[in-house]
Amino acid sequence: MLIVDDSGTIRAGIKLVLQQAKLFDGYFDCADAQSALGLLKEETFEVVLCDIIMPNMDGFEFLRRVKSQEAFVDLPVILLTGQDTVAQKIKGLELGASDYLTKPFDPGELIARVKVQQKVKRLQDELKIAKQKYRELAITDFLTGITNRRHFMELYLKEFSRSKRFVAHLSLIFFDLDNFKKINDTLGHLQGDRVLKTLTKLVTSQIRRYDVFARYGGEEFILMLPQTGFDAAMMVAEKIRSTVETTHFEGMEAPGSVTISLGVSSFPLQKVETGEQLIKLADEAQYEAKQQGKNRVMTLVETSQ
C-alpha cells in the first residue's frame, strides 16, 4: 500500500486505520508525488492513495504520469480530495483514477473502498496470469514443451521476410527420428514419448537462445537459425546428429539406439522466393538422408545452384 499526501497527520491516520484492518503486508507513505513516482519503480504495490492538492506536483499530474507507463496501467489509484466537486471527479476518472475518497474520511468508508480496489487488482493479476498460461499453451507443443508448428511458422515467415529484405543469412535444419515407428511398436508409446522429450532437451542444449526449435509433427522437428550461413548450419546439424547418436536414451539399449536424419537448407545461397520453399528444400534434403542410409546430414545446396 502506498499513501501520498503532504500532510503527515493524514498519512498517519490512513495508515493506522488500514493497519488495524490488516489489509496489506506493508505500507509506504510519501509527502510528495515525485518521491512516490520513485517508490513505484522500486516496490510493488496493490493500491495507491493519493491526495489531489499537493505542492510542486498535484495528484492529477501524478496520476497522469503513473497511467502513462504500461507497468502501472492496472494499478488502482484512489484520489483523496477535500473538494468534492463533479468536475474534479470527472477529471480524475478520465485520467485513470479508480475511485475517490473525500476528506475528512470515515474509517469504515476508507476500508471499504480500499478493499474493493484491492480485490479488483488481485482479480486483474489472476487474469493476466491465466492469459499468459493460455498463450503459452497455444504456442507450445504439449509433449515436448518446445514451440509448436503453428507458432514456428509465424516466427519463421517474419524472419524469412526480414532476411529476404536485407539479403541476410537464414538457415533451416529439418530432421526426424530414424525408425521411430519401431520404437513405438516394440517398446510402447510411453517410451516413444520419453525419447521425444529427451531429444528436445539434447537439441535445446546445442543451440543459441535466439534460434527457434519446434516440433513440426509426430517425430519431425525443425530448427531455424537466424543470421547463420550454410557452413555454420551444417556444423550445427552435424553436432546435433553426433550428440544424439552418442547419447544413451533412458529405456533404450545403448548409445546409438536412437539416431536422426537431418536436412539443411540455407538462404540466400538457395534461390527461393518464399519461406515455404526453403522449408521444402530442407525437408527434401532430410528425405535424401533417409534414402542414403539414415543417421546423416544432407543438403541440396549444390544441386540448387
Evaluate whether 113 touches 98 at the Cβ level (below 8 Å).
no
The yes-or-no verdict on residue 304 having pLDDT over 50 is no
207 three-class SS: coil
The pLDDT score that the predictor gives to residue 234 is: 97
**What is the distance of C-alpha 116 from the center of its chain?**
30
Note the pLDDT tens digit of each residue in 160-169: 999 999 999 9
Q: What percent of the chain has pLDDT over 70?
A: 98
The pLDDT score that the predictor gives to residue 36 is: 95
**Rounded Cα gap, residues 133 and 22, in angstroms:** 31
Task: Specify the length of the chain in residues.
Answer: 305
Q: Give the pTM.
A: 0.68
The pLDDT score that the predictor gives to residue 303 is: 44
Note the pLDDT tens digit of each residue in 107-160: 999 999 999 999 999 999 999 899 888 888 899 999 999 999 999 999 999 999
Rounded to a whole number of angstroms, the CA Rg of the chain reads 30
The yes-or-no verdict on residue 214 having pLDDT over 90 is yes
The yes-or-no verdict on residue 197 having pLDDT over 90 is yes
Q: Which residues are catalytic?
A: 219
Evaluate whether 262 touches 241 at the Cβ level (below 8 Å).
yes
Give the relative orientation of helices 230-245 and 189-204 as an angle to the nearest 10 degrees. Answer: 140
Note the pLDDT tens digit of each residue in 12-34: 999 999 999 999 989 999 999 99
* Cα distances (angstroms) measured from residue 181 to each of 258, 262, 291: 12, 17, 17
- pLDDT averaged over the chain? 93
Note the pLDDT tens digit of each residue in 58-80: 999 999 999 999 999 999 999 99
